[in-house]
Chains A and B, each alone.
Chain A
Amino acid sequence: MIETYSSITPLIAVLLPVAAALLVLLTGERFRNLRDSWSTIAALVMVAVVASMLPDVLDGRVPQTTIIEISPGIDIMLRADSAGMIFALLASSLWVLASVYAVGYMRAEHEHKQTRFFVAYALSLGAAAGVAFSANLLTFVLFYELLTLVTFPLVTHRETEAAIVAGRKYLTYTLSGGLMLIGGTAWVHMLGIDGTFVAGGLMADESISKATAWGLLALLMVGVGVKSAVMPLHGWLPSAMVAPTPVSALLHAVAVVKAGVFGVVRMIVFVFGAELLREMDAWQVIAVLAAATLLIGSMLALRHDNLKRRLAYSTISHLSYIVLGVALLGPIALTGALLHIVGHGVTKITLFFVAGAINAHTHKENVSQLDGIGRQMPITMGAFTLAALSMAGVPPFVLFTSKFYLGWGAAEVDQQIFMVVYLVSGVLAAGYLFPVVYRAFGKRSPDHVAYSEADMRMVVPLAITGILALVLGIVPNLPFSFFDLASEVARTAFDQGIPITGGAQ
């Protein structure tokens, strides 16, 4: 089935962004263009490195690196399994685009302390890769905490009063979550259980009392729940929108929050396992919380006029799509959830890219200010439209595909009610996004100034991601075999095959 072999590649993937950060730091402000290129170069190399492991992983041969024994009996170990590959590929490929975008944005906004920004940005990717490839609980905790740490300067970048408050909130939430994780991990080890992730649950064969299991579940799930913005742990996300948009785009649509839901996947699928959770009936609690977050998040999104806030609540909602999918404990639902990680990442980043481009170029922040902007920035708003269609779950966009699997997955485990939840949310998504499109293209602009497209460095990436949202829907295995990876995870977790509907490969 799955065979691991020793390889240094996962470690290289994690260290690459760190090296990039170092280069950025050393290059500094004087050689700005060189400095800013390091990120993109590193991102491209990182994608290549991670992708190089893909053929082996698909074959069932998983590269693994043991770095050091850090506590008696526990190693820091990296393993590029299918689930990790999904996250790592997503993060690194989006980093390529985001790094270009970030340069455009930062220059357009004349942001200060750009060196610090790019250093932290790169380090975040390194931490994210570490999270993706963690092979056991302690390694996961390590990179999770590091991720919190390196994203902090990004959240507080602008150094305004609001930014600092948001940063404190961010830290309080995420550090507390981290402490829960530490507690849970210590407990697992004290029970004598090895913390290495196993598809199907590392606790599956152990005999644990119900009380212990619930305690562990509470600790570990809250720990990852904070970064997944499951209600009521979501408070940090909307305020974090005060950060510059490249931060919101990559980190709070992709790296940090996806690390959170990835953590949920790890916990549910690789730590507890479906059987145990079914015995405990615990999945119902998680599912209900997720469903609630799903709906409430979408509803709150309708209320906010500030575009980034709206997108923030949309993110909160969609993260729970994933959590719910995982909590349903079915292979099809799991596949859908994993696909949604990818799809949502691509789609949401597009939306944020657009918001940032508009903001940088026209200083507009609110939806109500966007009348007629579509005519002036057609490519930008075109991408937004593509993404909006995807978010609403319109075929053949990627989020339709993932929602399809999610809904089907709900049916598979006889929880049709959640199918309904998904559908309703899709309608709500249309509700908070389509009006933007309509206003942008349908109405006249009240401004006297005629805007052109924003800086190309911003527009090109967002166009690419927008198109990707469509392409991935039609051909989910392009370019990185995401679908195959997802089904691989589901298969090993549940020992079942996943039917493929349409689509190439």
Chain B
Amino acid sequence: MLAALIVPVVARLRYELGFILALAGVGLSAAASIWSLVYVLDNGTMHYNLGGWAPPVGIEYVVDLISAFVAVIVTSVATLVIIGTRRWADREAGDRLGSFYGLVMLLITGLVGMVVTGDLFNLFVFLEISSLAAYALVFLGGGRAMLAGFRYLILGSVGGSFYMLGVGFLYFSTGTLNMGEMKDILTDDATARSVQAGAAFIFAGLGLKMALVPMHLWLPDAYTFAPSSVNTLIAPIMTKVGAYAMIRMFLSVFPDGYLKDVVPIGDALLVLGLIGIIFGSVAAMSQKDIRRMLAYSSISQLALIAVGVGLGTPLGLVAALLHIMNHAVMKATLFMAAASVRFTSGITQVADFTGLGRRMPFTMGAFTLGALAMVGIPPATGFFSKWYAVQAGIESSQWIVVAVVLVSSLLTAVYLFRILESAYLHPLQPEPSHGHDVPDGFGETEQELALEAQAREAPLDMAIPTVVLGLSTVVLGVLNAVIVINILEPGIV
């Protein structure tokens, strides 16, 4: 587990061979995460005290089923994305490739650190590490990205500061920063106003990092203008860790039921989440740039996670956690496909996706899988997180949740199917081809054939990760019961 932290940091060196080291770093990290997961499954939660100092003086690292789960997701997706966006990184970072990968490694370090820490302040530190890296990475895009990055920085820091403020309140009320200890202390007596305020600030801060409406303003611009190697990396994993932190609050920091009865955080999450689901989907429908569309889509999906957390029931948390995995994989697929498309043909507008189904069959195939998963067609993964969410809603008699989740599927279909339609159904020429065309049986005209000669699929090292991610959406869907039963349900106890 510790290796998962150290290796990325060590890999932060200024080399031209940056890619190889980066890959090694993140790959090892992924391996370590997987190993941790297996270990925890067999032996129970891992604890480690930094520097040998026991809490509450020292900082403790805790890896339980949920942390290991999220760590595996983050690092595995990151590995695939780093492989897939190597060419973009080459192009975008140029001679500063070393620093680029250094920043990437910092990002991953921060994220993994957030996942494995058992100390509230330590979480803040890692949060800021990853955020700083992210701000800088977004900024690299130049032009609008600079403004987007700056805004991200400002808003993100506000979020981080709020979190820190909240932690402060809690510390002064309980005397500890250790998550486990805090839960024990709070269980005895948690009525102090300062604790409530603390909780509020913490969730406000995390909500901002998670792009919970109305604190989402930084996300669309950041995802749209960031370099392709960056948004493909950030979109699937960064906000997820924020969501993980929230879940961690629910599970391990605050006593059970506190966040529902004493401070209505659960309800706030629920309401904001529901609004976010609808808002994100509706906004996505009117976008012309695919990255912006995917950005708003992400806001919608993150809101779904918030709803699951807000419901507060075990089933709701299962839905949220599963969706963390699902959305990471699905969004990674979609962003990778978009990055591949942009790489080979510079296309970023949805309207220009015409005929891509033929020109880039593997990339668009993967995109289709991702899209179907997002809509929630079984047996892809997206269906199951929605399934559990619906069940959680029914269980809590929150019918509005059921309605919103189901409607959101339809809305998602609208904006994603538009892309599929244009990619597969519209021929490469403006005139649609009718039945009675060139008699070679193909039905293609000369113009189509000529265009096809120019067409090329993305290079292998981009296409393969894309396809792997796409296939994962189906495979993980079929296997979801395994994951739920063995990892998520026990982890929530």
Interface residues of A (CB under 8 A from B): 29, 32, 68-72, 74, 76, 107, 109-114, 141-142, 145-146, 149, 153, 156, 158-161, 164, 167-168, 171-172, 175-176, 179-180, 182-183, 186-187, 189-190, 244
Contact = CB atoms under 8 A, between A and B. Distances in A.
When A and B form their complex, which 6 residue pairs have the shortest distance between CB atoms, in order from nearest? Answer: A112-B443, A142-B378, A190-B394, A186-B390, A179-B406, A69-B481
A114 B435 CA distance: 11
Contacts of A29: 441-442
A462 to B, nearest CB: 20
A176 B425 contact: no
Contacts of A74: 481
A69 B427 CA distance: 41
A112 B444 contact: yes
A72 B484 contact: yes
Contacts of A112: 433, 435, 437, 442-444
B384 A71 contact: yes
Contact of A71 (B376, B434, B484): B484
A159 B377 contact: no
Given A72-B489, A112-B437, A186-B391, 18 more contacts: A29-B442, A32-B441, A70-B379, A70-B384, A72-B484, A109-B435, A110-B435, A111-B435, A111-B443, A112-B442, A142-B378, A146-B378, A153-B424, A160-B432, A182-B406, A186-B402, A190-B394, A244-B435
29 contacts: A32-B441, A69-B485, A70-B478, A71-B480, A71-B484, A72-B485, A72-B489, A74-B481, A107-B441, A109-B435, A110-B441, A112-B433, A112-B442, A113-B443, A145-B377, A145-B378, A146-B378, A156-B421, A161-B432, A167-B425, A168-B417, A171-B417, A172-B410, A176-B410, A179-B406, A182-B390, A183-B406, A186-B391, A189-B391
A65 to B, nearest CB: 15
A189 B379 CA distance: 18
B433 A190 contact: no
Contact of B436 (A69, A76, A110, A145): A110
Nearest to A244: B435
Interface in B98-153: none
A160 B421 CA distance: 12
Contacts of A167: 421, 425
A138 B466 CA distance: 29
A72 B386 CA distance: 15
A160 B387 CA distance: 35
B436 A156 contact: no
Given A159-B426, A171-B417, A190 B489 contact: no
B372 interface: yes
A240 to B, nearest CB: 15
Contacts of A71: 384, 387-388, 480-481, 484
B34 interface: no
Q: How large is the interface on B (under 10, 10 to 19, 20 to 34, 35 or more residues)?
A: 35 or more
Contacts, number: 104
Contacts of A164: 421, 425
B417 to A, nearest CB: 7
Contact of B481 (A68, A146, A172, A176): A68
Interface string B435-470: 111010111100000000000000000000000000
B395 interface: yes
Given A182-B387, A187-B394, A158 B481 contact: no
A186 B425 contact: no
Contacts of A68: 478, 481
Q: Which among B388, B407, B434 has the greatest number of chain A C-beta atoms within 10 A?
A: B434
Given A72-B484, A146-B378, A186 B435 contact: no
B487 interface: no
A32 B391 CA distance: 48
B40 interface: no
A146 B478 CA distance: 14
Contacts of B377: 145-146, 149
A472 B427 CA distance: 45
A167 B436 CA distance: 21
A69 B479 CA distance: 8
B485 A175 contact: no
B413 interface: yes
Interface in B371-410: 372, 375-379, 384, 386-388, 390-391, 394-395, 402, 406-407, 409-410
Contacts of B402: 183, 186
Contact of A179 (B410, B442, B444): B410
Contacts of A182: 376, 386-387, 390, 406
B481 A70 contact: yes
A113 B484 CA distance: 41
B136 to A, nearest CB: 42
Contacts of B481: 68-72, 74
Nearest to B389: A186
A158 B391 CA distance: 40
A110 B413 contact: no
Nearest to A71: B481
B18 to A, nearest CB: 40
B304 to A, nearest CB: 15
B443 A110 contact: yes
Interface in B312-346: none
B226 to A, nearest CB: 32
A437 B402 CA distance: 52
A105 to B, nearest CB: 10
A243 to B, nearest CB: 12
Contacts of B480: 70-71
A69 B409 CA distance: 24
A446 B21 CA distance: 80
A379 to B, nearest CB: 24
A146 B391 CA distance: 21
A275 to B, nearest CB: 25
B487 to A, nearest CB: 12
A142 B384 CA distance: 11
Contact of A171 (B387, B413, B435, B489): B413
B443 A186 contact: no
A141 B378 CA distance: 8
Given A160-B432, A186-B391, A175 B478 contact: no
Contacts of B394: 186-187, 190
Nearest to B396: A190
A258 to B, nearest CB: 21
A180 B409 CA distance: 11
Given A110-B441, A149-B372, A190-B395, A183 B390 contact: yes
Nearest to B427: A159
A145 B375 CA distance: 11
B230 to A, nearest CB: 33
Contacts of A171: 413, 417
Contact of A160 (B407, B434, B437, B485): B434
A195 to B, nearest CB: 12
A467 to B, nearest CB: 30
B122 to A, nearest CB: 34
Contact of B409 (A32, A141, A175): A175
Nearest to B368: A149
Contacts of B436: 109-110
A110 B386 CA distance: 43
Contacts of A158: 434-435
Given A72-B489, A146-B377, A190 B391 contact: yes
